Structure 1
């Protein structure tokens, strides 16, 4: 069985009286029993509660948004593109940071939470992906739009045929969102290129729906 004990940084009266070392919490409580991982010394001490700050968060979901607040550790650092859990009164949401507003309504790419006035985010648990479809005959002058709703970690692959209800299409290109990490290009169009739905701004696809372009 793996060791699931909490670990904290504390001074050790045996081997480090000035600089914190990593301690295992053997018995939590007001006067917790802890063991230094450097020298093995066990002693009792009070574990300080971490300082927190109240963070104002705006969460965008599709075409709507709402505001909430969260208590977070004061030493937290965040950056555009980072992901975290937003704890709201109604639900827990996985969100990605899309904007960080500090003093004087200034936007920055990264900041400590103590500096942040408002954190702008986008929910990525479940997402709506816009699709531009063109006919199978290649006539790009006649296109139609479609929106599909999928989990954020759903994978779209260039060259793969997707089916959603009565809709069927083959992915030909994937436009990546600005704040999506770990993609070499902002447009994927080589067979086998893959992107998570939460990172997709738009899909470009060939319509395979048999009745989509039938005559009247």
Structure 2
């Protein structure tokens, strides 16, 4: 059995001030044992540079900056924390735009013009619901680390639906019952209605907020 390396390091998500146990995922990546967040290995910035980061969240995007060591290797799939406006957001690298042109999934920071990233701390998951031969697409906002499992039953717009398959962002589709996928890795969830409730009890997070706003205005 391969030896699993563990180290103590500060976690930018759950323990930025005190060191906690981490598992070494790659030579440059650590996984926090307390919260599961994956981040870069802490290091002394000898040649710090700032790189523009385009962060997309839903249909909107914003430009931020990330300060890194010039010789640090960046990879598509890396996750890190960045200031987005007045908030701090967890993001994942989608691709790297190079100074020489084109994009790559791996490069040294000094060779990167722009990091293209996606917010993953809170994501909107597309859920396709099959009903009477028709398919309706719903948006469901949830924490990026929330797990959906095939076979799970959810309440959406007054119906109980069962998840039948999940399409992930790398293009694969899973159909095995019990297979769980984190929301940040989901491209689309496919579901089927199994029962209808007398009144809407779920309607997803977005619909709930909308109803609350309408009730407040009526009051």
TM-score normalised according to structure 2 size: 0.66
* Deviation of 1:5 (Å): 9.7
Give 1:57's match in structure 2, choosing from 34, 53, 66: 53
Matches within 5 A, 1:46-195: 50-135=46-131, 139=132, 141-164=133-156, 166-178=158-170, 186-195=172-181
1:25-40 equivalent positions in 2, closer than 5 A: none
Match of 1:202 in 2: 188
2-structure distance, mates of 1:82, 1:172: 29
Q: CA RMSD in A?
A: 2.5
Residue of structure 1 equivalent to 2:28: none
Q: Is the 1:166–1:209 Cα contact (8 Å) retained in structure 2?
A: no
State the alpha-carbon separation in 2 of the partners of residues 5 and 109 from structure 1: 26
Alignment CA distance shift 1:121-1:209 (3 Å) = farther
Structure 1: distance between partners of 2:70 and 2:158:
50
Contact 1:148/1:164 (<8 A) preserved: no
Distance 2:148 2:195 in 1: 18
**Residues 210/83 of structure 1: CA separation in 2 closer, same or farther (3 Å cut):** same
Query: For 2:64 and 2:115, how far apart are their aligned partners in 1?
Result: 10
Whole-angstrom CA distance in 2 between matches of 1:148 and 1:98: 22
Which deviates more, 157-166 or 90-99?
157-166
Unaligned runs of 5+ in 1: 7-47, 179-184
Q: Aligned pairs, how many?
A: 159
Tell me: CA distance 1:134–1:88, structure 2 relative to 1, closer, same or farther (3 Å).
Answer: closer
Matched residue SS, 1:114: helix
Compared CA separation, residues 209 and 122, structure 1 to 2 (3 A) = farther
